[in-house]
Chains A and B, each alone.
Chain A
Amino acid sequence: MSTELAQLLERVRALFEDVDFTAVREWKAEGADRKAVGHMPIYVPRELIHASGMLPVGVLGGGDRLEIIRGDAYFQSYICHIPRSTIEMALTGRLDALDGMLFPSICDVIRNLSGMWRLLFPDRYVRYVDVPQNFSPDVGGAFWRQELEQLLDDFAGLSGRAADQEALRRSIAVYNENRREIGALYEARSHEPWVYPASELYLVVRAGNVLPPEEHTELVRSYRQLAAAEDRHEQDLSRVVVVGTFCEQPPLGLLLTLERAGCSIVDDDLLLGQRWLTDDVSEVGDPIEALATAYLECSCQTASVYQPEGRRGAWLVESVRRNQAEGVIFCAPSFCDPALLEQPMLVDALAAAGIPHTQFKYAENTGQFAAIREQAGTFSDSIRLWSDA
């Protein structure tokens, strides 16, 4: 491996392992008036935070890198893990660098967590971001435009700097470029997955949760070029799509386990918020209108988005086809209602399309992968046999 690539990977790994948000603290330390706004997984309009001169920070749980001492006392045993580690980080001061916190509408856990935040930290800025489930421009669009305007007002109050239209358009362009670059990396991975192992790609993309977007775009671009220049050989692995990982993130060890078990991930819903919009947001005209339209027309398909046409699963089948995958791995956090409730519908869609699948659950701090390795290995062998037949 080239020194440059090794250094890049070392950097993204360090960013991933650091549950103290040091990168965010360092960024803030460079200017007395610098502010940062955190947000839970999936979609928030980061462009608005950025245009207001603040750093958007993705808070994706503590994974297996954080010992839960106080967080468990706030949640019953049958609730997923990410709210525990998030509360733990907040109570231990790790999120002190964040001047505000956004809770996107994704499920009842995140929703209620926003209320817990209000109760626990009454002096901090907190907002529940209720995205529309009605996709008509005059109805859901009108609602969402007003919500975006309110968010923008809030951010102006928080940063002391109101974003003008020009600043908003600039931020839209910055995030368009970031999404395009991540999209290009996913595309390249789909063609040559052995060049961009999931365990590397994940860390590279994930770094965008704590770095300024401009810097992250450069990082993704360098990684793609550096990895492509490596002499990595095609391996006989099964091509799989991983679904269910859109919120609580699986431990890195789980991704490595899948790879070691013979599965090559060619598409996934990890870090979905960073890839939420499937097309560019318009860089001309009214930026709020542009963001609202993009949400209505270009949102990806996932469990938290209402599907008016009732074609649950069509997008998954499409992803399998587009990425020439041979099977699907349902990999959902334990107790994750959105992911688990929709699994039977996705399974039906796959069955109708004759696509094999397997399923298991994880928690972000799972440390034992033997059973998963076994299961994924058997699955990988079976689909290889299937495709050879």
Chain B
Amino acid sequence: MSPETGAPPREIPKERSMLLQKEMIAGHYQDLASAPETGRKVVYTFVPGNLTELMRSFDVLPVLPEINALQSGMRKLSGDYISEAEKQGHSEDVCTYVKCDIGMLKQGNVGPTGQPLPEPDLLLLSYTGCFTFMKWFELLRQEYDCPVAMLHVPYQADGTIHDHHRAYVVEQLESEIIPKLEQVTGQQFDEDRLRAELELSAVAEDDLVWVLESAKNVPSPIDAYFGGVYYIGPMFTAFRGTQEGVDYYRTLRAEIEERLAAGRGPITPDGELEEERYRLVLEGPPNWTSFRDFWRMFSEEGAVVVASSYTKVGGLYDRGFRHDPSRPLETLADYCMGCYTNLGLPSRVDLIADYIREYRADGFMINSVKSCNSFSVGQLLMLRQLEERTGVPGGFIESDLVDPRYFSAANIKNRIESYLQMLEQKRGTAA
């Protein structure tokens, strides 16, 4: 049953949302490539706690180095970039997103569309949920002669946004971020414009949530991890607060409504999934260097991810947060503080336990990535606590984001298969 009964699905061309997203991204990279000619200003920033609406209100173009890194991973370039950075003295132990970015920079900073990325006019260091971000932009500052605006976002250790935390973030927006955006662009801050953009964000956010929650249906019409990373793309990157973003999510929602009405399963690398055999919740980021192979290890077994934490690193919209135009700076503050990576471990465990129940999952799996202490430290305890709390067995695999040296396909496949077999046996015993 659908979690929300809407109008009957419109007739739309198949996978129109995919094409639309492709066009949007190509357009964005085209805008970036032509920025030196058009004079548009460019701001480098991060996905968690990104201030897209605020940046858009100044007409600047965002560049997200994590997205470049994951794209390099998918295009099999990250291995080279990482060794380039290691040759330059970066430790083998540290986050590979950083090394991938530095290596890409050293090799000409060519973006995913083959065009060189423009240099930043501002580095907007939104320090949300990860210490590495701070070091990353300190490293980039050595490379670029441009100002840095630092936004320190307090960590939600006890799961509560305290008033003085919100006030602290708002004051930084007022005294640090907005003045630097004004200085770089020569434009005055326009609060009405920001409000209008926040309004558009909220519309798109409603549709994204509908799509994510469609996985509560059995069988699910979507895969909320492997498919999910595509669905969050526009929302987590450059398109919040734009009409394009709104249109994308309308289109996507209509597609999934149609899929749901027809009782069809999610798309996989090998076409539509015919039979949903296992419903899983997934914690941790995916591996990008072997993304499709990794996806297949699940889809070939009929395993569908019905909810994931990774698709919440850029905001927990499904838990009710919406950008609120009536309190523009406060809402940005709440957004930054509420991103998944900024939550304490107990809140993360609560969230996943809720997902397991709400999405009627048979199991959950943790993909622990070597790069990311922010995600990975504590995951073994999360595994135990989740098993105890939900009575549902968990699986644990290890890989990396963009370092191909840490994706051992045979090993991971083996683990996934044995885990799913165990679920199957459990089901047999229960029946």
Contact = CB atoms under 8 A, between A and B. Distances in A.
Residue from the set B175, B368, B370, B377 with the largest chain A CB neighbour count within 10 Å: B377
B142 A108 contact: no
Contact of B150 (A128, A306, A312): A306
A232 to B, nearest CB: 37
A120 interface: yes
Interface of A: 73-76, 78-79, 83, 105-109, 111-116, 118-120, 127-128, 130, 132-134, 136, 138-140, 142-143, 146-147, 303-304, 306-308, 310, 312, 334-338, 340-345, 347-348, 361
Given A133-B152, A139-B171, 11 more contacts: A73-B380, A76-B379, A78-B93, A105-B155, A111-B374, A132-B152, A337-B95, A337-B373, A338-B135, A340-B94, A345-B139
A143 B172 CA distance: 11
Contacts of A113: 377-378
Max chain B CB contacts within 10 Å: which of A74, A142, A341? A341
Interface stretch (B69-77, B245-253, B267-275, B344-352): B344-352
Contact of A116 (B154, B373, B381): B381
A109 B377 contact: yes
Nearest to B379: A76
A120 B385 CA distance: 9
Interface stretch (B30-38, B39-47, B84-92, B215-223): B84-92
Given A76-B398, A133-B152, A343-B89, A337 B135 contact: yes
A115 B344 contact: yes
Contact of A142 (B171, B348, B368): B171
Nearest to B380: A74
Given A79-B377, A139-B172, A310 B152 contact: no
Contacts of B154: 130, 143
B142 A337 contact: no
Given A76-B376, A306-B150, A310-B138, A114 B157 contact: yes
Contacts of B148: 308, 310
Nearest to B169: A143
Interface in B120-148: 127, 130-132, 134-136, 138-139, 141-142, 148
Contacts of A147: 164
Given A112-B373, A116-B378, A118-B344, A140 B139 contact: no
A306 B134 contact: yes
Contact of B93 (A75, A107, A308, A334): A334
Contacts of A73: 380
26 contacts: A73-B380, A75-B377, A78-B93, A78-B370, A108-B131, A108-B132, A112-B345, A116-B377, A119-B345, A119-B381, A119-B385, A130-B157, A132-B168, A134-B172, A138-B171, A142-B164, A142-B167, A143-B168, A303-B135, A306-B150, A312-B142, A337-B132, A338-B131, A344-B89, A344-B139, A345-B138
Contacts of A138: 171, 175
B59 interface: no
Given A115-B344, A119-B381, A341-B132, A336 B93 contact: yes
A335 B93 contact: yes
A146 B164 contact: yes
B191 interface: no
A345 B88 CA distance: 11
Contacts of A347: 89
B417 interface: no
A216 to B, nearest CB: 30
Interface string B152-185: 1011011000001101100110011000000000
Contacts of A361: 93
B377 A306 contact: no
Size category of the B interface is 35 or more
B130 A306 contact: no
Nearest to B138: A312
B208 interface: no
B141 A79 contact: no
B369 to A, nearest CB: 9
B200 interface: no
Interface of B: 88-91, 93-95, 98, 127, 130-132, 134-136, 138-139, 141-142, 148, 150, 152, 154-155, 157-158, 164-165, 167-168, 171-172, 175-176, 344-346, 348-349, 368, 370, 372-374, 376-381, 385, 398
A308 B164 CA distance: 23
Contact of B127 (A119, A133, A336, A337): A133
A139 B175 CA distance: 8
Nearest to A333: B93
A108 B157 contact: no
B377 A83 contact: yes
B139 A75 contact: no
Given A112-B345, A130-B157, A75 B380 contact: yes
A216 B372 CA distance: 39
B164 A116 contact: no
A347 B88 CA distance: 11
A119 B171 contact: no
A341 B378 contact: no
B96 to A, nearest CB: 11
A76 B368 contact: yes
Contacts of A74: 378, 380-381
Contact of B373 (A109, A133, A312): A109
Contacts of A133: 127, 134, 150, 152
Given A146-B164, A308-B150, A119 B377 contact: no
B66 to A, nearest CB: 15
Contact of B135 (A112, A127, A139, A342): A342
A120 B380 CA distance: 12
A54 B167 CA distance: 31
Contact of B155 (A79, A111, A306): A111
Nearest to B376: A76
A113 B374 CA distance: 11
A325 B183 CA distance: 42
B147 to A, nearest CB: 9
Contacts of A142: 164, 167-168, 171
The 9 A-B pairs at the shortest CB distance, nearest first, are namely A115-B345, A128-B157, A341-B135, A112-B377, A133-B152, A108-B373, A143-B168, A340-B91, A146-B164
Contacts of B127: 133, 306
A328 to B, nearest CB: 14
A384 to B, nearest CB: 25
Contact of A108 (B171, B368, B374): B374
